[in-house]
Amino acid sequence: MVDNRTIIHVENLKKDFGKLEVLKGMSIDIEEGEVVVLLGPSGSGKSTFLRCLNQLEHATAGTIVIDGNTVTDKHTDINKVREEIGMVFQHFNLFPHKTVLENIMLAPVELKRMKKEEAKEKGMKLLKRVGLEAKADAYPSQLSGGQKQRVAIARALAMNPAIMLFDEPTSALDPEMVGEVLNVMQELVSDGMTMVIVTHEIGFAREVSDRVVFMDDGAIVEQGRPDEIFNNPKETRTIDFLKKVL
């Protein structure tokens, strides 16, 4: 069952870093429950696009509407909207001075969404979900890369977000740890989470995504169902890129 409600609406998004134009007018609509994979060569603006969605980067021009909130409007309380958007980073960015459980509990408790006990229970439930309940009291430095990234996913889920953003979640991992992280992400897909994923894992994209968006040079070149894009790409730039990575 596909729900047809648009949860992310992006119109003519532009982002400059000084003189460098990274996004040159991007428009896309993403539906609730949709899993979108962004592909493209490095420097194509995939990560910047993702970071604009939760305003870690401020758009130079254009409009972004997340679940009815225009985040590009200065009057929008961006902190409120961010509670709705979980983000997972390439380098995990766990808080090294807090235990695994404290990492997960921080936002729910500080933002007064949950009492401490409740947040702890929720945290343990999430850790169980990513298979790490035994590591609740460990510090991030005691975990492997794959474990760190699973904790980071649990942390991002603690606020019950409607959308999850993944910025190359497996790129900093040793090859043998990629699978455990992809498995957790796959479960989120099964749960119907709206997900926007920047990744180079073509196999994963082919298997779980509803739509593949190929970007180059700050704009969308081509998009479609994964089998269309991977089996019958139409644009030369897409064909060239896929030749290199497949």
Interacting residue ranges for other proteins, rule: CB under 8 A? 54, 56, 79-80, 82-83, 85-87, 89, 91, 93-97, 106-107, 110-111, 139, 141, 152, 155-156, 158-159
- For the chain, strand residue ranges (E) read 6-17, 20-31, 35-39, 61-66, 69-70, 85-88, 163-167, 194-198, 211-216, 219-224
223: helix, coil or strand?
Answer: strand
| Beta carbon nearer to other proteins, 148 or 211 | 148
CB of 138 to other proteins, least distance (A): 12
| Beta carbon nearer to other proteins, 86 or 233 | 86
What residues are paired with 17 via a beta bridge? 20
CB of 152 to other proteins, least distance (A): 8
CB of 7 to other proteins, least distance (A): 17
In this structure, the strands spanning 20-31 and 194-198 are: unpaired
CB of 93 to other proteins, least distance (A): 4
Q: Which amino acid is at 228?
A: E
Between CA 99 and CA 138 the distance in angstroms is 5
| Beta carbon nearer to other proteins, 30 or 221 | 30
| Beta carbon nearer to other proteins, 146 or 233 | 146
| Beta carbon nearer to other proteins, 68 or 190 | 68
Could you give the strand order of the β-sheet that contains 211-216, starting from the edge strand earlier in sequence? 85-88, 163-167, 194-198, 35-39, 211-216, 219-224
CB of 155 to other proteins, least distance (A): 7
